[in-house]
Structure 1
Amino acid sequence: MDFGDGISLLALGLSGYATWRTIQFNKRQDSLVETQNKLNELLLAKETEEVIDERKADLGASIIKLGNHKYRLKIWNKGNAEAKSVTVEFPDGNELVLESELRSKLPYESLEKHASIELLASVHTQTPRKHKLKLCWSDEYRNKNEKIVYPTL
């Protein structure tokens, strides 16, 4: 073995080492690209959810006491979009709001973000403490939304 063979062998060894390091680097690079793709998917999902939330209304209800024997059923929109054609149904029977009050105010055409409707409530000693309400409305996200709530006295 002469000097040229030694140099060739050294070059072959360095080439093998460089190839091995390149393979390791490419594996790490692939892992980083995969992580970046997952993060991009999560970010896209989050952004999509935020856009959808901007188009949704979210209604809630509670019974509020204003004074001696004066109660109101308050329905509010805590969502980011306008609620249209708001109606209230009583699946277990209506013992809280007079039918004339419901007919005169509902369906409520447009309930803006953070706005509310108040309905006169008729409360007496025989009135149940817990009421089941079904709130129905339309918004930019869906035409027919429904939510069951349980306001209490």
Structure 2
Amino acid sequence: MPITVDAGDIIAGFALLMSAYATWRTTSFNEKQKSLIESQEKLNNLLLEKEESEAASGKKADLGASFVKLGSNKHRLKVWNKGSATARNIRLEFPEGNDVLMQSDVDEKFPLESMEKFQSVELIASVHMGTKSKHVIRIVWEDDAHNYNEKLVYPTL
């Protein structure tokens, strides 16, 4: 029994091949699209985390301190706020003792009611030959993010 192939059979076979190719292309396209959607979801999550952390950092104050030399023999301890928020109820504590700052100056200025962004306070330091070069100061404050913040700084002369 001879098999006869006419034009309709050739067209049907070609249509079958084209249909298989289209199915394969659609499947691979769907896989790429799924991968793209997953990467967009990861990117959106990262952007959301970044926005949340920026919003949280906008509510934080960041205080620091360092000694500043004025002229040939004058020193000051400069306490500053480089954070985005206002610091409130700022206190200084000296875990290893205070032998360089004038206690009357500290008592007069601290606890400080508030310190805006980029604001600073200077305290008079009395430096002499027996003064150690490294000091430990604990800065305690409140801000919009937390009611209790603490930072140990180690200013050096």
Please provide the CA RMSD for this pair.
Answer: 1.4
State the identity as a percent.
54
Residue in structure 1 matched with residue 101 of structure 2 by the alignment: 97
Q: Distance in 2 between matches of 1:18 and 1:64?
A: 74
Residue in structure 2 matched with residue 117 of structure 1 by the alignment: 121
Q: Deviations over 1:44-103 (max 9, x none)?
A: 111112111211111110111223432211100111110101111111111121322222
- Which stretches of structure 1, 4 residues or more, deviate above 6 A after TM superposition? none
Shift in Å, 1:10: 2.0
SS of the residue aligned with 1:76? Answer: strand
**1:9 counterpart = 2:9:** no
TM-score (norm 1): 0.93
Alignment of 1:1-153 (within 5 A): 1-153=5-157
Shift in Å, 1:23: 0.3
AA at the equivalent of 1:40: N
Q: Distance in 1 between matches of 2:51 and 2:100?
A: 41
Q: Distance in 1 between matches of 2:90 and 2:71?
A: 27
Q: How many residue pairs align between the two structures?
A: 153
SS of the residue aligned with 1:146? Answer: strand
SS of the residue aligned with 2:65? Answer: strand
TM-score (norm 2): 0.91
Q: Distance in 1 between matches of 2:126 and 2:49?
A: 46
Structure 1's unaligned 5+ residue stretches are: none
AA at the equivalent of 1:102: V
Larger radius of gyration: 2
